[in-house]
């Protein structure tokens, strides 16, 4: 047996029918950049006195399996993670592609099992009862496009020598959206003075920490969602500054790709704060706007995502 290497690691995701129960089949092999999921069970030091100077045995604490996964903004694979975050999309065919529309606010969020395989060893373990809590994407002029997901799992199986997911579904080669294809629109107009943008979303997950003999959480409930956008801009005119000081919400749209292959995030109502404009040297003066998103129940969801690709469905 060899030493496990990240370059050969395999990630397979399957959506659960019952929370915390890994499905027997239906897994898809997905690309990833990094993963730090892993069940942990800490120790609590003994507090007993009167037993001499030799400490008593520690006590095992509860099981936790929280961690982040960084995944590429791949045109097809991205939809599986968006489904875990928001639930199944409404998918509409067009003449040459499919439009998948994801929105925040679902009453019940899906859960998944994620097997991490290390064939060099070999070692395969499944993280079950995984729900997606947070999303974070940074947009910049160049570089690789990725998304960071904050996940909460129920537990992890003991590693085995063979995979337990059956035949893996695949979708061909990786086709990543390029940072250079990105654009930002505010109130329908393209903004050209933004140097960096970061969008964040949270499902506000709340662990159900019912007392259990196995030390695992009972479930994870959806809480109050939240979203924010941070824009670092060159201070070239007063357009954004005036929008911020008017105290009226703006619509912000971040887009990667074009036409039949696109990934688009829309926050219909974002409140922008009045920013500082610090002077730190002879170069250009920058202003940073840290906006907070809001929705109107039944009218405009807090967070909207459109993914256009050749995948027919994510149901």
pLDDT at 167 over 70: yes
pLDDT at 238 over 90: no
Q: How many angstroms separate the CA atoms of 11 and 253, rounded?
A: 31
CB 184 within 8 A of CB 190: yes
> What would the pLDDT profile of 123-161 be if each residue is shown by its tens digit?
999 999 999 999 999 999 888 999 999 999 999 999 999
Q: Is residue 35 one of the residues assigned to a domain?
A: yes
Q: How many whole angstroms from its chain centre is CA 248?
A: 29
Q: Which two tokens stand for residue 301?
A: 């969801």
Residue 280: what pLDDT?
Answer: 62
Residue 249: what pLDDT?
Answer: 92
Range of the domain at 150: 6-39+61-166+175-309
Q: Which two tokens stand for residue 214?
A: 């196995």
Q: Is residue 55 one of the residues assigned to a domain?
A: no
Which letter, b or e, does each residue of 145-179 get, where b requires 16 or more Cβ atoms within 10 Å of its Cβ? Answer: bbbbbbbbbbbbeeeeeebbbeebeebeeebbbeb
How many other C-beta atoms are found inside a 10 Å radius of the C-beta of residue 188? 8
Q: Is residue 106 one of the residues assigned to a domain?
A: yes
Overall average pLDDT of the 119-126 stretch: 91
Q: Is residue 115 one of the residues assigned to a domain?
A: yes
Q: Is residue 105 one of the residues assigned to a domain?
A: yes
Q: Is residue 16 one of the residues assigned to a domain?
A: yes
Sign of CA dihedral 266, 267, 273, 274: positive
> What would the pLDDT profile of 17-76 be if each residue is shown by its tens digit?
999 999 999 999 999 999 999 999 999 999 999 988 899 999 999 999 999 999 999 999
Report the domain count for the chain: 1
Q: Which two tokens stand for residue 156?
A: 């992890």
Closest CA to 193 of 293, 287, 291: 287
Q: How many angstroms separate the CA atoms of 216 and 164, rounded?
A: 21
DSSP character at residue 188: T
Q: Is residue 53 one of the residues assigned to a domain?
A: no
Three-state DSSP at 179 gives helix
CB 191 within 8 A of CB 109: no
User: Is it true that the peptide bond before 122 is cis, omega within 30 degrees of 0?
Assistant: yes
Q: How many whole angstroms from its chain centre is CA 96?
A: 28
């Amino acid at each position: 047996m060899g030493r496990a290497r990240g370059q050969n690691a395999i990630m397979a995701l399957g959506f659960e029918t019952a929370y915390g129960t890994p499905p027997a089949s239906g897994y898809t092999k997905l690309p990833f950049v990094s993963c730090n999921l892993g069940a942990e069970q800490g120790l609590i030091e003994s507090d007993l006195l009167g037993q001499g100077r030799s400490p008593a045995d520690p006590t095992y604490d509860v099981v936790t399996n929280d961690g982040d996964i960084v995944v590429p903004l791949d045109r097809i694979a991205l939809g599986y993670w968006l489904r875990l975050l928001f639930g199944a999309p409404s998918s509409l065919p067009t003449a040459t592609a499919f439009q998948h529309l994801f929105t925040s606010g679902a009453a019940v969020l899906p859960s998944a099992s994620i097997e991490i395989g290390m064939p060099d060893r070999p070692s395969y373990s499944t993280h079950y009862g995984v729900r997606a809590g947070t999303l974070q994407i940074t947009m910049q002029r160049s570089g690789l496009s990725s998304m960071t997901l904050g996940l909460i799992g129920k537990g992890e199986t003991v590693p085995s020598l063979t995979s337990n997911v059956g035949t893996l579904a695949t979708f061909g080669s990786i086709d990543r959206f390029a940072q250079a294809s990105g654009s930002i629109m505010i109130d329908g107009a393209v903004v050209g003075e933004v140097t960096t943008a970061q969008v964040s979303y949270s499902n506000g997950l709340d662990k159900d920490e019912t007392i259990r003999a196995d030390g695992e959480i009972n479930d994870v409930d959806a809480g109050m969602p939240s979203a924010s956008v941070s824009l670092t801009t060159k201070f070239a005119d007063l357009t954004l500054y005036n929008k911020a000081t008017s105290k009226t919400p703006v619509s912000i749209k971040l887009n990667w790709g074009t036409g039949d292959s696109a990934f688009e995030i829309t926050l219909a109502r974002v409140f922008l704060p009045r920013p500082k404009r610090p002077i730190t040297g002879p170069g250009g003066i920058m202003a940073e706007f840290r906006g907070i998103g809001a929705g109107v129940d039944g009218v405009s969801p807090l967070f909207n995502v459109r993914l256009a690709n050749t995948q027919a469905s994510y149901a």
